[in-house]
Amino acid sequence: MLSYALRRLLYLPLSLFLLSLLCFGLRAITPGDPVESQLPPAESRTASSKPAAYDASYRRAAAALGYDLPTFYFSLNNAALPDTLHRIGRPAERRMLRALTLSSGNWPAVQDYYLAVRQLAFGEDTEAGINSIPVARRLLLQDDPKAVAAAVNSLPDDQLSQPVKAAFSQVMDGSQRHRLLLPAFRWHGAQNQYHHWLLRILSGDFGNSYLDRRPVASKIGQAMRWTILLNGIAILLVYLVSLPVGLYAAGYRGSRFDRYSTTLLFILFGLPSFWIATLVTNYFTTPAFGMDFFPSMGFGDIPDGASWWTALKIRGSHLFLPVMCLAYPSFAYVSRHLRRSAVKELDQAYVTTARLKGLSRSQILWKHVLRNASFPIITLLGGLFPALLAGSVLIERIFNLPGMGQLLYTAAVGRDWPIVITLVLLNGLLTAAGLLLADLAYAFTDPRVRLGGATTFINNAA
């Protein structure tokens, strides 16, 4: 058993590494500017009135957040591109420099042009530069070489604009396009964005929310406890109902209980949970229909000093409808999987032996058949951990429950990408952990699973 567990654990680091690469890639391609979203509101408002001060604030924030570092441990780029392009903090300026360099192949000339444009764009606002300074600021955001050439030609022929025009002429006249044909491999070491991001994740620092600038870990922690409570009760209810229904449907196959339970469970399985949730909130939580048996929204507020019975009544009345809406679609799924597996086990020779020994049907089902027919149940348990944290977006939205599903919906609508990516990462981690535990449970339930060679021999012999 220990060697089997160790073999399975060897696959876990690779899975987690690939998952971290996926989440880091999502972080890199999500729309929006992460540096700008972290700037204080007072500094963000100076973008138009005081562009030089805003540019300095942006550069400081980019350096503090590590966005002026290389993306990964190594890079494979065009040889014409410099190994310091990542130090340009603003993505628009970085795209402009990359486009001009890939157009001319002459990075030193492009660098001189960039410095000249910045000097003009963020220099002193004088009356002489009233026409040239706005054009220079637009040039920093322009990544189309043809549009750049047109904008440079539109600059007035004055002393302020002359360095920009001269530098751009050097870019065009000093073309070194042969460098565009060569690749360049560069090693950046541990000073890169992925390495720093991974260290922060491992230390529990998931960043700040774009919407309210609160720590992501704090917001997830508050929502997690409600989702664990809601989904934990729902999963417990599913197994408390489905296990006996599935076993007894197999033990009394063909009986009225088997037929009626199958029909009822499949009817429930065919009813969308979000539709049922909408109906019950309209009919059973509002006085308009005279059936306001349950409170409508949230988990309920427990008064200070309330007894445990009062707290149980408040929580139970608020949880009853969402728990039922989460649980009932799984009744048919779990019970039918267990029934099918149990029916196969009831035809085995060991069941006949147990009957000859005088064991009752319940003893056979619960003591012998359940363990050997539990593979489908173990498979479903593998998804238990991600289900506990992922929550149900629709159910939590309909009942206005402040859980992980509600948090995911709010973050996705508001483009709060740090929360979305963190939830994807946590869900992947828990999925990997659930699958590992399912593998170990297989080996514990059936010894043949951990004896790979012996199992193959037995199957071939059969």
Mean pLDDT of the chain: 85
The conformation of residue 303, written as its DSSP 8-state character, comes to P
Tell if the pTM clears 0.85, that is, is over it: no
Percent of residues, the chain, with pLDDT higher than 90 = 28
User: In this model, does residue 10 exceed pLDDT 90?
Assistant: no
d(CA 94, CA 28) in angstroms, rounded, equals 14
Residue 21 tokens, joined: 């690469």
In the chain, the N- to C-terminal Cα span, in Å, equals 25
208 three-state secondary structure: strand
Mean per-residue pLDDT for 249-258? 91
Closest CA to 151 of 163, 127, 168, 175: 168
* pLDDT (0 to 100) of residue 450: 55
pLDDT in tens, 60-114: 888 888 888 999 999 999 999 998 898 988 888 999 999 999 999 999 999 999 9
pLDDT in tens, 176-228: 888 888 899 999 999 999 999 999 999 989 988 888 889 999 999 999 889 88
* pLDDT (0 to 100) of residue 232: 87
Long-range contacts for 446-455 (Cβ within 8 Å, ≥24 apart)? 446/372, 446/375, 449/4, 450/1, 450/3, 450/4
Q: Which residue has the tokens 């977006």?
A: 393
Mean per-residue pLDDT for 268-297? 86
* pLDDT (0 to 100) of residue 457: 34
* pLDDT (0 to 100) of residue 461: 34
83 three-state secondary structure: coil
HSE-up of residue 297 (Cα within 13 Å, Cβ side) = 5
15 three-state secondary structure: helix
Residue ranges of alpha helices (H) inside 140-179 are 145-153, 162-173
* pLDDT (0 to 100) of residue 249: 92
Residue 311 tokens, joined: 């707290």
What does residue 263 show for φ and ψ, rounded to 5 degrees?
Answer: -65, -45
SS (H, E, C) 215-263: EHHHHHHHHHHHHHHHHHHHHHHHHHHHHHHHHHHHHCCCCHHHHHHHH
d(CA 231, CA 217) in angstroms, rounded, equals 20
Cβ contact 437:382 at 8 Å: yes
User: In this model, does residue 245 exceed pLDDT 90?
Assistant: yes
d(CA 238, CA 273) in angstroms, rounded, equals 14
What does residue 186 show for φ and ψ, rounded to 5 degrees?
Answer: -130, 135
Residue 347 tokens, joined: 């035809």
CA 168 to chain centre: 44
Confidence at 11, pLDDT banded by 50, 70, 90: confident
User: In this model, does residue 454 exceed pLDDT 80?
Assistant: no
Max CA pair span of the chain = 107
The CA-based dihedral angle spanning residues 190, 194, 200, 206, taken in that order and rounded to the nearest 10 degrees? 170
User: In this model, does residue 453 exceed pLDDT 50?
Assistant: no
User: In this model, does residue 384 exceed pLDDT 80?
Assistant: no
User: In this model, does residue 460 exceed pLDDT 50?
Assistant: no
Determine whether 302 is exposed, middle or buried from the number of CB atoms within 10 Å of its CB (0-12, 13-18, 19+): middle
* pLDDT (0 to 100) of residue 448: 59
Q: Out of 43-52, 84-93, 170-179, 237-246, pick the least confident.
A: 43-52
* pLDDT (0 to 100) of residue 459: 42
d(CA 82, CA 108) in angstroms, rounded, equals 9
* pLDDT (0 to 100) of residue 419: 92
Q: Out of 35-39, 122-126, 347-351, pick the least confident.
A: 122-126
* pLDDT (0 to 100) of residue 456: 39
User: In this model, does residue 143 exceed pLDDT 50?
Assistant: yes
pLDDT in tens, 385-411: 676 666 588 888 899 899 888 999 999
User: In this model, does residue 452 exceed pLDDT 60?
Assistant: no
* pLDDT (0 to 100) of residue 455: 43
Residue ranges of alpha helices (H) inside 91-215 are 91-104, 107-121, 132-139, 145-153, 162-173, 193-202
Amino acid at 35: V
